[in-house]
Chains A and B, each alone.
Chain A
């Protein structure tokens, strides 16, 4: 089940090499920047959520009235009574009440059948294609990284949570920054002085030695104005019911990441793109329970995050996008799971989004090599995010790509 996650992909893709040149930020640096040069109110902010492992699209946006769906996966299909209908054909997984609520408010766009030509079923290759934004040329840069290349130099511009930078953030000239998670306790007294000596730069340092020294030195980089920000509660989710019980049982790692993003956006971090992630979607066995917990996490985390944003003055600025490297097979396997497949849905949510379906729902009867057809190209979505949300030219990132998906609300 959780045999694949972000770390494996990062390791296999050699992202550690890319990340070597990536600045590692401390929260203090971001907070200082937020105070000295906050992001102007009204600047669009994009939060990208990567779901590692290949999310089963057919049990996420469910063709609940289609008898082919029920027959193809008798062990793991959902009955109409267990889903959250969006229209007469499609429904959300029953654990996704938060996203259903966003749908009802017309703030959730669901792009159907998303993929790219000649789908690759390797986690590694397919995620590399999605993150680089290029199915054909094996680019070592990521699509957000190339966008960063076009912007004025600013280490706060795009930030990924976690110690390893995902390839989507690696540019050819510059890259996004990594913000490691986890609380830091700073040594004090004599040990502090010892450690400061031990972590000073040395002329003889190779890159790895310098990074090791920096990681220790950064312990002391936490200034007094940081602790108050971290101690702040995350912005309140005022327009959600106080008990949005149901799915997950306890906060998920994704929720913790988004809570930190919410705090940093709320104090005015000059950051326009954030990257967070959740692993565990490689559901070859016993998929139903596991996936519904994960989808519940995703749904609760996104709706909570957007609600938090609405309690700040950035509510209208923030858009969340969630994707996975591929969908899964139409037919279940013998272990109550599904094997690697092709297309799946991409979600975009926020006040800037014109809610509804985009792209055609792939047919369950006209399959391509036994798998779902690709009806939307992911580059259409990227181009729209770049052009309509980040207000940037597309060609420097995706070349002459012409396709667009009109999920951004016209003002």
Chain B
């Protein structure tokens, strides 16, 4: 078992994007039970999000020819929409008072890992993001069915041209292997059959509109994982999500990202039964209150976006309002992780791959820039002798090692340096 302080810090950094100034001290005062109830339950309203307007994204239609006079206007609009979409989501992560919904949307984005690198259009990526947010803590069967017919995902995995005469198996395989069941839980024959059930759908890439044409759909009776029926895409999704293996697989994915990416989920872990009804909220509550969260060995590394958003929250920096918003995306690129651009359909890596020397260097650069944009009054208004004690509570860091404590005490006369070192320290990069 670990102290209440460590557990509360874990809740803030894993089930939200780190505390806003003052939140961690308040939670400590109220105790673990209250903190966990508060952090794991989404309130009906979020004042922090009220100042954010949805981005004005539109269907930009087909690409004009390269030499057409409209091409430059089109390219500029594509760039602007992508910029607006990315910063809009980063703003939401930073400004939300209650971080769980955005944190879960972020998790699901990594799960259904669709990249704007191939989709190119921002509008369908935005629609997908809204779907992920709508079902972030809802029922996984609803989420899967909606994702099965999501335009960006369908385009990303080539289902638009999956036809009876020449099936394209990409979506079928990944839907089973990566989204609902896990590898080796189905046969090659199942891949072929599911691909047939997913025929007849076309996707308009720029709008993300998916259209079903019954004439092009393979409506033959298929036997998929023990059920014989003529399946539509939605029915296939329901059937896969209803497999008992789905509960184990999704519980494993939650465990991997929220609790431990090294210890396996045990066979009888309560997370699996908590997901019996495919209720994501119940699964998250189980993860946030179960034995895993208090096991001292279960530390995790903050991914670049998680680290960046946590620093912004502590500094009250709104990503779209900094002096050079493009620089924000450039920084995230150097750190190796930009929202809407996962490296592939498997999503981003976890753990040690983020702890490179190059990343250490870029984190210093990014933090230095954010410090020029942020509000450090919480620290600077305090007597310098108190600042070392305050920085841990400001950032939600449970304990400093002797090494880090020495480095921080040495600079507490300078709040900017103190903050820079604290967010670059091993104890902040890792959720202990």
- Smallest CB separation, A337 vs chain B (Å): 7
Check A8 against B402 for contact (C-beta < 8 Å): no
CB distance from A125 to the nearest CB of B (A): 6
Residues of chain B within 8 A (CB-CB) of A191 are 364, 420
Least CB distance, B298 to chain A, in whole angstroms: 10
Q: In the assembly, what is the distance between CA of A200 and CA of B410, in Å? A: 14
Q: Tell me whether A194 is interfacial, beta carbon within 8 Å.
A: yes
Contact assessment for A209 and B356 in the assembled complex, using a CB-CB cutoff below 8 Å: no
Known A12-B346, A20-B352, A163-B353; 12 more pairs at CB < 8 Å: A11-B349, A180-B356, A183-B358, A197-B403, A208-B352, A209-B432, A212-B426, A216-B357, A279-B344, A284-B158, A339-B168, A339-B169
Contact B344 A337 (CB under 8 A): no
B47 at the interface (CB under 8 A from A): no
A206 touches B432 (CB 8 A): yes
For B299, list chain A residues within 8 Å (CB).
Answer: 206, 208-209
Q: Hey, what's the 0/1 contact readout for B350-376 against A, CB within 8 Å counting as 1?
A: 111101111111001000000000000
A48 CB–B CB distance under 8 Å: no
In the complex with contacts A3-B157, A215-B359, A209-B162 CB distance below 8 A: no
A2 to B325, CA, bound (A): 28
A294 shortest CB reach to chain B, Å: 15
As a 0/1 sequence over residues 177 to 191 of chain A, the CB contacts with chain B under 8 angstroms (1 = contact) are 000111111110011
* B352 contact from A3, A16, A203, Cβ within 8 A: A16
B119 → chain A closest CB, angstroms? 11
**Closest A residue, CB atoms, query B430:** A208
| Contact sample, A vs B, 25 pairs, CB 8 Å cutoff | A3-B156, A3-B345, A7-B353, A19-B353, A24-B356, A24-B357, A121-B173, A125-B184, A164-B349, A180-B357, A181-B358, A184-B357, A184-B358, A194-B420, A212-B360, A212-B426, A212-B429, A212-B430, A215-B360, A218-B357, A284-B168, A333-B161, A333-B167, A336-B161, A339-B169
User: 0/1 per residue, A194-206, Cβ < 8 Å to B?
Assistant: 1101111111111
Cβ of B417 < 8 Å from any Cβ of A? yes
CB within 8 Å of B: which of A317-375?
Answer: 331-337, 339-340
A83: B residues at CB distance < 8 A:
none
Produce 1/0 per residue, A207-220, CB < 8 A to B.
Answer: 01111111110110
In angstroms, Cα B358 to Cα A219, docked, is 8
How near does chain B come to A21, taking the closest CB pair, in angstroms?
Answer: 10
A340-B432 contact given A209-B401, A285-B161, CB 8 Å threshold: no
What is the predominant secondary structure among interface residues of chain A facing chain B?
A: loop
Distance, CA A191 to CA B353, complexed state (A): 25
Q: Are A195 and B364 in contact (CB under 8 A)?
A: yes
Nearest Cβ on chain B to A63's Cβ, whole angstroms: 20
B158 & A285 in contact (Cβ 8 Å cutoff):
yes
- Chain B residues near A (Cβ < 8 Å): 115, 117-118, 156-158, 160-163, 165-170, 173-174, 177, 183-184, 188, 191, 261-262, 297, 299-301, 343-353, 355-361, 364, 401-404, 406-407, 410-411, 417, 420-421, 424-427, 429-430, 432
Chain A nearest Cβ from B205, distance in angstroms: 12
Q: Is the CB of A121 within 8 A of B364?
A: no
CA separation between A200 and B166, bound complex, in Å?
Answer: 59
Interfacial residues, chain A to chain B (CB-CB below 8 A): 1-5, 7-12, 16-17, 19-20, 24, 26, 121-122, 124-125, 163-164, 180-187, 190-191, 194-195, 197-206, 208-216, 218-219, 279, 282, 284-285, 331-337, 339-340
B170→A284 contact, CB < 8 A: yes
Task: Let me know if B347 and A333 touch, CB within 8 A.
Answer: no
B404 proximity list for chain A (CB < 8 A): 198, 202
3 nearest A-B residue pairs (beta carbon) = A8-B346, A212-B426, A202-B401
Contacts of A186 in B (CB 8 A): 361
Chain A: which residue is nearest B176 at the CB level? Answer: A122
CA distance A203 to B404 in the complex (A): 12
Separation in Å of the B311 CB from the closest CB of chain A?
A: 15
Given A3-B156, A204-B401, A209-B401, A194 and B350 touching (CB < 8 A)? no
The interface residues of chain B lying within 8 Å CB-to-CB of A214 are 355
Query: What separation, in Å, do the CA atoms of A217 and B403 have in the docked complex?
Result: 13
Tell me the bound Cα distance from A184 to B358 in angstroms. Answer: 6
